[in-house]
Amino acid sequence: MWRRPSGRALVATVDVFTPIVDDAHTWGRIAAVNAASDVYAMGGEPLFALAIAAWPRGEIPYEVLTEVLRGGQDAAADGGWVVAGGHSIDGPEPLYGQAVIGEVDADALLTNDAARPGDALVLTKPLGTGLVATAVKRRAPEAVAAGGELHALYTAAVDEMTRSNAAAALAARRHGASAATDVTGFGLLGHLRELALASGLAGEVRVGAVPRLPGLSTTLAAGEVPGGTVRNLTAVRGHLDVDADVSEDDLIVLSDAQTSGGLLIALAADRAAALVTDLQVSGHTASVIAHLDVGEAGELRVTR
């Protein structure tokens, strides 16, 4: 963050990743929405971006890269920021993302270290995109086509990954959020622990309240779990107090490495229901999933 004399501040973020879906335009859109998510998590609005790409010249036609760039441009146009330029290099595998510059009121900046004892935590998107992406990679292309065994789950995942966090950020500010973070590569438990630790608080998560993509049980039963999700759970397990009726599959979902995940918003408990209603009206699958209180910083209880 760069605080300017006017009281406004510029915030900058960058995110780049390999293809998560087969359709080039959709990949570009997801990557751009994901890149802007950190700006929204800080309560800001994206202004402009620089596109970043690596491409295996001679192996994948440049026409495919054109579609990726178009997808990113379309997401930016929908979100109100400008792709002002960018840079591409030769690379052994395709990569795409954006470096996004946004603006925020410096006195209203949302951080992950300002949550208060008694705050509720609202999650704005369902979990499971990492599990879905791994399932897609391990199954035949027909699995995600109309009538395929993963079609409904895949479609729901794409809908969520292309959903901007702009409306969620606006709602968070409107309802007086005290802190926020986006839920991405470290999974819900990882990002929740970071927020709790930074705020000097402990947390309690209710598994039954956490929204998840429909049909994840099929990917869990097949053992289609990303390596990043396993590492996330390993990293946080020593900080968990898990009730006996919470299953290992539950913990995997809570640790699933998300792409273009939702926001995790901390706010006064008596304001949480109104925020959830506001989010649901705008199409979000939102829920109050946890609360924070005085305790050993960063320690989490997981209940049914």
Give yes or no for residue 226 having a pLDDT over 80.
yes
The partner residues of 241 in beta bridges, in order of sequence, read 301
The count of other CB atoms within 10 Å of the CB of residue 148 is 15
Task: Work out the percent of the chain whose per-residue pLDDT is above 70.
Answer: 100
Q: Which one-letter DSSP state was computed for residue 172?
A: H
Q: Which domains does the chain have, with CATH numbers?
A: 2-108 (3.30.1330.10), 120-303 (3.90.650.10)
Mean pLDDT of 64-69: 98
The count of other CB atoms within 10 Å of the CB of residue 298 is 19
- Between CA 104 and CA 45 the distance in angstroms is 7
How does residue 5 score in pLDDT terms, banded at 50, 70 and 90?
A: confident
pLDDT digits (tens, 9 = 90+) for 130-143: 999 999 988 888 88
Give yes or no for residue 199 having a pLDDT over 90.
yes
The residues near 131 (Cβ < 8 Å, ≥ 6 apart) are 213, 216, 219, 220, 224, 225, 226, 229, 252, 253, 256
Element (H, E) at 15: strand 8-17
Mean pLDDT of 230-246: 97
pLDDT digits (tens, 9 = 90+) for 148-172: 999 999 999 999 999 999 999 999 9
